[in-house]
A and B are shown apart, each in its own frame.
Chain A
Amino acid sequence: MAASISGYTFSSVCYHSANSNSDHEGFLLGEVRQEETLSISDSHIGSSEFLSVIEVHNHEPCAQLFSFYDYAGNVNEENLNRILKDRRKNVIGWYRFRRNTQQQMSFREQVIHKQLTNILGIPDLVFLLFSFISTANSSTHALEYVLFRPNRKYNQKISLSIPNLGNTSQQEYKVSSVPNTSKNYASVIKEHGTDFFDKDGVMKDIRAIFQVYSALQERVQAVCGEVDQSERVREKIQEEVNKLKEEIALRKHNSAEEERRLQEATAVTLPDNSALPDNSALPDSSHSSLTRVVLSGPSVEPSLERAENSSSPPIYSTTLPPDSPSAILLPRPQAVGSPGHPSPSVGLGNGDGSSSDSLNRQATGQEDEDNSDEDSSEYENLVSEQLQPPSLSEAVTLGRPATVWPDGDAHSPPGS
């Protein structure tokens, strides 16, 4: 249980008390809140703690002693109501101030406390005891205050905190939740409030900022659209480029075939081994030039395609979801391979973890190499296709006498 009292209430109580020439008592008004703290940690799912917080907002001093009780300590309810009037429901406790006495509840205070608990119907009524200790020569005075919960068996004393009584340069200045009941304050705010608040009670600055935010959002949306368009254009161009590349490759292949046949035809008459290595060399050189072309492609706009850098064309056929700009526009810092990464890999992969993982890995910047790998792998396929026909043709020529070995050495045919 925690208790707090606002600084001005505390000083007001002290003022009333210190100025009285005898013991002083009064009532504490405020509220009791239940606070629930939910804590989540790795070791357990979550635990909630309930904390009762007592807040003292105000106080009602009694003008004299024995004003609501008699010599025997019997509380008179009429007098009590007369002192409290309509603030009775706000009572959370009472206080007493006595000079030069011990910090312990006295006999009469205990008797009164029990009765007040019953009459006011507050099970956890608190009692604040002030004692003012002075040294013999009045050189040093100490004001001590203790908050008691006498209705409990254990932990009867609780510490009373006064917010902002301390070094506020190091701590934050805390605003308390004490409701402001001052009429003067309310009237001033009403009069000057229109400078700061609009008709709905919302601060004007907030609206202005919100407008700026909305404008920024619109712009970003527009840019999204532009990006979308440019990406589509790029997609088309990429397709054309791919087609052209295929044609080139095909033509080259055809021309190579042609040449080889010609050479074979001439080679039957004139064995010449130097053509083949040139042939085998040819696809490599064309290869490397082709790979080089591919490399320059995807590096154009890496920032926007984190999630969509796989070179297979179908990605760009899906539309960007317009209502979730945050996934794209506000890059969230994510760890490598973190499961929370939003990977809008719609239509890509099998939907199992492996493909999206590979996608994620690509997302963090390895795209250039991957692209090149994939592209080069395509072309490797082409290379292997090209290599195969020579072996086929080799097999064909095996049956002839005076075969041409691939390594270019002339051998005498076996058996001759």
Chain B
Amino acid sequence: MNSLSPEAALSRISPELRPLLCTVVRNGRVGLDSSGCLRITDLKTGCTSLMPGPCCDRFKLHIPYAGETLKWDIIFNASDPELPPDFIFGEDADFLPEPSELPHLVSWDAGKPECLLQLVKELLQQYHQYQCQRLRDSSRLLFEYDSLLDDPNYGRSMEIYAGRKNTWTGEFSARFLLKLPVDFSNIPIYLLKDTALDPGEDVALLSVSFEDAEATQVFPKLYLSPSIEHALGGSSALHIPAFPGGGCLIDYVPQVCQLLTNKVQYVIQGYHKRREYIAAFLSHFGMGVVEYDAVGFTKLTLLLMWKDFCFLVHVDLPLYFPRDQPTLTFQSIYHFTSSGQLYSQVQKSYPYSPRWDGNEMAKRAKAYFKSFIPQFQEGAFANGKL
């Protein structure tokens, strides 16, 4: 009952209400965290049990907000589908938005499918205001909030969740979810298209949890959309510095932002650098190039000859090239290993410097090949069989 797929949920909803919910379930992204979309559970009906067919008209809507999931009850009436719904805001019994600030409620039009989604967005805005109000219980956190609000970079895309105040200890906790203004648009497309699901907007979110009102226990966490995470090299990209004790967000957040930007820059540069590298190798080795990755420029295979000895060289360019050195794999075309593979040798350390440009790297690589090949040949004859 609880983990229904969106389609299954929609099929149980009363037909008149279905268009409204379609928009919510299929396209509904509210808030900063667009990876978690809106979910509907606990479908119930307000009609008598004599009513046939799909007639569910009340459900729980799960809304991701500031790292939490809000569970709001939405109550329609299937026998009066043109009427606007009612809401129960879960545990937030104090939250009471002003109806006049919900234009989509005042002029509710059941004929417009996006009406419900818009109303939910407006309610979320009010909820955000309500949470910011709750920050007033702690002057420290209020200061954090105000200082961020003033900064145009972060002020407009912030979600605050002021947690429950523990009435015993008076402990107060809050979570700030900020959208980091990092430009991901120049990341090469090939890095982004590897993810299976629809990535949506590429976004980086910084979540900072304050476990107490004096900000002595602060836990930051970085969330990246899956494609960005992949593009930046997996989960290692999520390492961020710890929150400095006694520091404040207005200093820390730009720091993290800069770090992320640098990484992105690095990746972008890496792409270009790799392209340059491959281009240089192409021009140097010309006909010797067997194949290369023309999209990501991560691989290159050369077929070279030295004193009638032909061999292959596979060049693997890492993600953080040129910081990281490319891996050279020499492969003999004559000899096999005992396992039936072509005899090969991997070379990871050879004369290299990240400061060389593509041409220089190609020249040096050529020189290296010349120096290394006799060794390889010997090894191939010694260890491999024809």
Check if B88 sits within 8 Å of A73, measured CB to CB: no
A74-93 vs B, Cβ < 8 Å mask (1 yes, 0 no): 10000000000000000000
Interface residues of B in 77-95 (CB under 8 A from A): 77-80, 83-84, 86-89, 93
Residue A107, interface by CB 8 Å: yes
The residue in chain B whose Cβ has the minimal distance to the Cβ of A66 is B83
Residue A395, interface by CB 8 Å: no
**Which stretch in A97-105, A198-206, A403-411 binds the other chain?**
A97-105
Residue A22, interface by CB 8 Å: yes
Other-chain contact of A72, B44, B47, B51, B105 (Cβ < 8 Å): B105
With known contacts A21-B79, A106-B87, A107-B88, A71–B45 Cβ distance under 8 A: no
Contacts of A23 in B (CB 8 A): 46, 75, 77
Residue A152, interface by CB 8 Å: no
| Shortest CB distance B176–A (Å) | 26
| Shortest CB distance A137–B (Å) | 10
Q: CA A161 – CA B364 in complex, angstroms? A: 94
A264-308 vs B, Cβ < 8 Å mask (1 yes, 0 no): 000000000000000000000000000000000000000000000
A71, A100, A102, A136: residue with the most chain B Cβ atoms closer than 10 Å:
A100
Other-chain contact of A138, B49, B89, B96, B106 (Cβ < 8 Å): B49
Interface residues of B in 17-63 (CB under 8 A from A): 44-49, 51, 58
Contacts of A108 in B (CB 8 A): 86-87
With known contacts A106-B75, A110-B96, A99–B45 Cβ distance under 8 A: yes
Majority DSSP secondary structure for residues of B touching A = loop
Residue A312, interface by CB 8 Å: no
| Shortest CB distance B278–A (Å) | 61
Residue B318, interface by CB 8 Å: no
Contacts of B152 in A (CB 8 A): none
Check if B46 sits within 8 Å of A134, measured CB to CB: no
| Shortest CB distance A66–B (Å) | 6
A21, A64, A136: residue with the most chain B Cβ atoms closer than 10 Å:
A21
Other-chain contact of A22, B47, B87, B105 (Cβ < 8 Å): B47
With known contacts A71-B84, A71-B105, A107-B87, A22–B79 Cβ distance under 8 A: yes
| Shortest CB distance B195–A (Å) | 38
Majority DSSP secondary structure for residues of A touching B = loop
Residue B97, interface by CB 8 Å: yes
Q: CA A136 – CA B12 in complex, angstroms? A: 13
Check if A134 sits within 8 Å of B106, measured CB to CB: no
| 28 A–B contacts from the bound complex (CB under 8 Å) | A18-B48, A19-B48, A21-B47, A21-B48, A21-B51, A21-B79, A22-B46, A22-B79, A23-B46, A65-B77, A66-B83, A71-B83, A71-B84, A72-B100, A72-B102, A74-B99, A99-B45, A100-B45, A100-B46, A101-B75, A102-B73, A106-B75, A107-B88, A107-B89, A107-B96, A108-B86, A109-B86, A134-B49
Leading 6 A-B pairs by shortest Cβ distance:
A100-B44, A72-B99, A22-B77, A22-B79, A107-B87, A138-B49
> B-side interface residues toward A, CB under 8 Å?
1, 44-49, 51, 58, 73, 75, 77-80, 83-84, 86-89, 93, 96-97, 99-100, 102, 105-108
17 further contact pairs, Cβ within 8 A, besides A21-B47, A100-B44, A107-B88: A22-B47, A22-B77, A22-B79, A23-B46, A23-B77, A65-B80, A66-B83, A71-B106, A72-B99, A72-B105, A73-B99, A98-B46, A101-B73, A104-B88, A106-B75, A134-B49, A136-B1
